[in-house]
Amino acid sequence: MMKRAYYLFNPGRMSRQDNTLKFEPTGTEEDQKPRFLPVEGVSALYIFGSVDANSALYNFLGRKHIPVHFFDYYEHYTGTFSPREHLLAGQMLVNQTNAYRLSKRRLHLAAGFVEGATFNMLKNLKYYQGRGKELEYLIEKLGALRLLIGTAADIPELMGIEGNCRQLYYEAFPIIVPGYAWEGRSKRPPTNELNALVSFGNSLCYSVCLDAIYNSQLNPTISFLHEPGVRRYSLALDVSEIFKPLLVDRLLFRMCNKRELGPKDFDLVDNACFLSERGRKAFVAAWEEKLKDGIQHRKLNRRVTYRHLLRLECYKIAKYVMKLEERYEPFHAWW
């Protein structure tokens, strides 16, 4: 059975019934019948509504290795129920820690994340320039900044280069998506529709990267570009940098330009803007279709979905950390 992620927007109660997950919506509508999800077909759960559950259910999900990602009312990612790390290995943990502590090796890995992220930013700009958008100046500036990645002497300098690249990239948003307010990136809270889409999409990207890391032997708390911190899976932040332009930005550009989202898909609350329930459902449906799409993998010589590409990237990082490969090639080396 092909596994898939399930997104729960409505309030209700989740419980186990034999080898099936049973979700009972709460509300006044008479047609709200329980839904049954065969556990063998569930890869992950994304909870946006208020869902009640007990410890027996989480024990069951843990045995089946099904993570549960939680989001608050404002669409912020708040945490993950992560099953016991059945794939973690002591030697990998030691080598991953050593790769972080050895400055040269860490810098090489971190530079790969930035190179992959900025490559996809540049690819997006060139795509829309080919469709009549005036982006030549930003493309030239971003291309020049990318040449500095290999000259960075340490992580703070590399982060500065990445920040400058992203700031240039964000200047293209109102050109690519005309008609939407954009005065730069605003996060907590997002102040307009585009920022609401970026925040929501980035949260989804972070969680799907976490799923990919969970299915490798990597430890999600030991990162290379971002500093490991308390109460966060910082390696997912590293990996998501590569895929946010490729997955999130391309999707929101398309949905806005093709009018797949409209005023009814957003809620304004105290000078903050969030996707409405209708908007979240529309974006999530498009997001799942995007993950099923993919590219022709140059080395495997076959088409690979984006969801699988995330896992391949994690396997590549793991091989580099274990020194099975002499050098870490960032994502775009596969194209």
Q: Which residues contact 11 (CB under 8 A, 6 or more apart)?
A: 25, 26, 27, 49, 50, 51
Name the residue among 106, 110, 128, 130 with its Cα closest to residue 118: 110
Contact 1, 40 (CB under 8 A): yes
Q: For residues 181 and 192, is the Cβ–Cβ distance under 8 A?
A: yes
Tell which residue, 294, 99, 114, 283, has the closest CA to residue 204.
Answer: 283
pLDDT number for residue 115 = 93
DSSP 2-53: --EEEEE-S-EEEEEETTEEEEEE-SS-TT---EEEEGGGEEEEEE-S-EE-
Q: Is the pLDDT of residue 298 over 80?
A: no
Distance CA 113, CA 110 (A): 5
pLDDT tens per residue across span 164-200: 999 999 999 999 998 887 877 877 788 889 998 999 9
Distances (CA, A) of 224 to 204, 218, 236: 21, 12, 10
Tokens of 223: 């990162």
**CA–CA dist 10, 26 (Å, integer):** 8
pLDDT for 87: 57
pLDDT one-digit tens code per residue, 233-279: 899 999 999 999 999 999 999 999 999 988 888 888 888 888 888 89
What is the structure's pLDDT at 156? 94
Cα–chain center distance at 101: 26
pLDDT digits (tens, 9 = 90+) for 19-41: 888 888 886 555 578 888 888 88
